[in-house]
């Protein structure tokens, strides 16, 4: 096989707009806040990758079906019910992430941008990445280092690249930085029921 690109470093960007739709009211980000986060902290990462010919960017968009399930779970924990719920925030989430993918493709070209759609969990990362590497004819030049970005710092930004690192035996180091990642949202506690006395 003739390889088009050799890679010794991955920049993983996982679920960058997830908290637009799924998080409690204290930690949810507005679409404007996430756009600013991407512009200020994610785009410089892609620009850095552009300067490194042996690097590639892996973007894992939010799985919308899972986001809907998460949102319904959060609402139930707050004592609310999702019947008739508008998923306008999820549509905004999709729009923001699709725009990021388009911008990254314009900067890097299709060869050095790997988009892994519809992953249901971090366990699916290895197989999806392996398939994409073969399809794009990318050769791994071990050891391969990884930098993780996106949301949420403790989970998505670390777990997805970690599974790829182990599954593909990349041998390099995994770094998750504070800048370019979002902190986790706190667990939502169910709202206590208030017993009202009859008038």
In a domain, 194, yes or no: no
In a domain, 98, yes or no: yes
Distance between CA atoms of residues 149 and 134, nearest Å: 24
| Any domain includes 197 | no
pLDDT score recorded for residue 149? 97
Per-residue model confidence (pLDDT) at position 179:
94
Q: Is residue 11 in a domain? A: yes
- Range of 125's domain? 5-181
Per-residue pLDDT tens for 99-111? 999 999 999 999 9
- Residue 196 counted as domain residue: no
pLDDT bucket at 199, cuts 50 / 70 / 90? very low
Burial class (CB in 10 A: 0-12, 13-18, 19+), 4: exposed
The average pLDDT across 14-43 equals: 84
- pLDDT computed for residue 56 by the predictor: 97
Q: Do the domain assignments include residue 107? A: yes
Q: End-to-end alpha-carbon separation of the chain, Å?
A: 80
Q: What radius of gyration, in Å, describes the C-alpha atoms of the chain?
A: 19
Q: How many structural domains are present in the chain?
A: 1
| pLDDT per position as a tens digit, 165-193 | 999 999 999 999 999 998 865 443 433 33
Task: Report if residue 127 sits inside a domain.
Answer: yes
The answer, yes or no, to whether the previous bond of 152 is cis (omega within 30 of 0) is: yes
CATH for 63 = 3.40.50
Complete edge-to-edge strand list for the sheet that includes strand 5-14: 113-115, 55-60, 5-14, 138-150, 171-181
**pLDDT surpasses 60 at 195:** no
Residue 135 lies inside a defined structural domain of this protein:
yes
Residue 6: phi and psi, rounded to 5, are -110, 135
């Amino acid at each position: 096989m003739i390889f088009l690109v050799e890679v010794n470093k991955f920049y993983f960007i996982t679920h960058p707009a997830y908290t637009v739709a799924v998080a409690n009211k204290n930690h949810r980000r507005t679409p404007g806040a996430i756009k600013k986060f991407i512009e200020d902290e994610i785009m410089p990462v892609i620009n850095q990758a552009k300067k490194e010919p042996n690097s590639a960017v892996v973007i894992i968009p939010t799985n919308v079906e899972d986001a809907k399930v998460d949102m319904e779970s959060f609402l139930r924990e707050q004592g609310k019910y999702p019947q008739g719920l508008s998923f306008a925030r999820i549509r905004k989430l999709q729009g923001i992430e699709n725009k990021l993918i388009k911008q990254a493709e314009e900067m890097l070209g299709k060869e050095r941008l790997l988009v892994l759609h519809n992953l249901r969990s971090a366990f699916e990362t290895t197989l999806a990445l392996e398939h994409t590497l073969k399809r794009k004819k990318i050769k791994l030049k071990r050891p391969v280092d990884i930098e993780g970005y996106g949301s949420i710092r403790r989970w998505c930004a670390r777990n997805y690249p970690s599974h790829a690192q182990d599954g593909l035996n990349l041998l390099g180091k995994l770094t998750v930085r504070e800048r370019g990642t979002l902190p986790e949202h706190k667990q939502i506690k169910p709202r206590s029921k208030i017993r009202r006395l009859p008038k």
